[in-house]
């Protein structure tokens, strides 16, 4: 028999919105507000943007993160309620996700290293389409992709920007990454690829001076890149908590059926 996990010390973080700030005041009055370093769990009040920010901030702490929706988009959040929060936390189901590690080298030879929870994306910086060469595990898989860009998505990020550019939805526990083109011109019919999450992805920018490209890991951007390396960082495991019946696995499954 499993013993419910105790979450006595709660750290609340909230976005700047009126709803989120009001919720912060309510919950702090009811449950107190611990410093994140001393807390058993971090509760994020806002939307998916705040959840990503909170996950980034606590990426290496191993602390579980529980979100409640008090923002705009709430795919990663639970429903908001001030009642029985500690009981909800004790009964919550855990999803473990690994971020992507991006290593981007720019035109000056400077190296930019960032983590991404959703995706690493390359975008054209001007009116001209990007020309890209794609290697997987040091093997050339596409000699030339002409497109607005390309992205590598985690399962957690597969319902975000990846979905909006017609990429596949991945189950949260799938050992896969999605490689998805953004408005591909050539090859016209290429819709992307599913890769094992052990894959080492390298994207080289062709004609970079004429066709400059930026690389973005969630919200961290490097401009005028020449080479971008992407892999799943298994040294980091982030723990997200969801109410029973509303797990990330269930949400992604529902999304595939249009709910």
- 179-188 pLDDT, tens digit per residue, is 999 999 999 8
Query: Does domain 100-232 sit in CATH 2.60.200.30?
Result: yes
**Ramachandran category for residue 166: left, alpha or beta (phi over 0 → left; psi -120 to 50 → alpha):** left
Handedness of CA 44, 46, 49, 50 (dihedral sign): negative
Report the sign of the C-alpha dihedral through residues 158, 160, 161, 164, in that order: positive
Looking up tokens 């991945």 gives: 170
| CA 102/CA 116 separation, integer angstroms | 7
3-state secondary structure 46-76: ECHHHHHHHHHHCCCCCCCEEEEECCCCCCC
The residue annotated as part of the active site, out of 48, 84, 220, 224, is 48
| CATH class entry, domain 10-97+236-256 | alpha beta
Q: How far apart are CA 92 and CA 108, in angstroms?
A: 47
Higher pLDDT residue, 79 or 172?
A: 79
Lowest-pLDDT range, 24-28, 48-52, 127-131?
Answer: 48-52
Q: What is the pTM of this model?
A: 0.86
Instruction: State the Cα torsion 197-156-194-207 to the nearest 10°.
Output: -90
Question: In this predicted structure, what is the pLDDT of residue 1?
Answer: 40
DSSP state of 230: E
Query: Measured between alpha carbons, how far is 182 from 224 in angstroms, rounded to an integer?
Result: 18
The structural domains of the chain, with segments of one domain joined by +, span 10-97+236-256, 100-232
To the query of whether residue 106 is one of the catalytic residues in this protein, the response is no
Record the tokens describing residue 119, joined without a space.
Answer: 């995706």
Whole-number Å distance between alpha carbons of 64 and 51? 12
Distance of alpha carbon 91 from alpha carbon 31, whole angstroms: 17
What confidence category does residue 3 fall into, taking pLDDT thresholds of 50, 70 and 90?
very low
Instruction: Grade residue 95 by pLDDT with cuts at 50, 70 and 90.
Output: confident
Task: Say whether pLDDT at 67 is over 70.
Answer: yes
| C-alpha span between 258 and 85 (Å, rounded) | 30
CA nearest neighbour of 68 among 98, 9, 26, 35: 26
Residue 173: closest CA among 82, 80, 240, 243: 240
Q: Examine the pLDDT at 218 and tell me if it is beyond 90.
A: yes
């Amino acid at each position: 028999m499993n013993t419910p996990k105790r979450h006595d010390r709660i750290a609340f973080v909230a976005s700047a919105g009126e709803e989120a700030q009001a919720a912060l005041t309510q919950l702090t009055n009811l449950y107190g507000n611990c410093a994140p370093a001393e807390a058993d769990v971090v509760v994020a009040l806002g939307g998916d943007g705040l959840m990503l920010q909170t996950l980034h901030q606590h990426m290496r702490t191993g602390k579980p993160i529980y979100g409640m929706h008090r923002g705009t988009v709430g795919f990663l959040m639970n429903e908001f309620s001030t009642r029985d929060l500690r009981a909800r936390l004790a009964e919550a189901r855990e999803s473990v996700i690994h971020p992507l590690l991006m290593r981007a080298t720019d035109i000056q030879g400077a190296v930019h290293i960032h983590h991404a929870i959703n995706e690493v994306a390359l975008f054209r910086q001007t009116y001209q389409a990007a020309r890209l060469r794609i290697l997987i595990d040091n093997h050339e898989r596409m000699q030339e992709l002409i497109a607005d860009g390309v992205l590598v998505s985690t399962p957690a990020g597969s319902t975000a920007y990846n979905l909006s550019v017609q990429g596949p939805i991945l189950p949260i526990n799938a050992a896969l990454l999605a490689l998805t083109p953004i408005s591909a011109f050539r090859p016209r019919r290429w819709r992307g690829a599913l890769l094992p999450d052990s894959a080492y992805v390298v994207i080289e920018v062709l004609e970079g001076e004429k066709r400059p490209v930026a690389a973005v890991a969630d919200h961290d951007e490097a401009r005028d890149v020449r080479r971008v390396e992407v892999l799943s960082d298994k040294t980091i495991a982030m723990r997200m908590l969801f109410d029973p019946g509303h797990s990330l696995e269930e949400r992604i499954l529902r999304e595939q059926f249009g709910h």
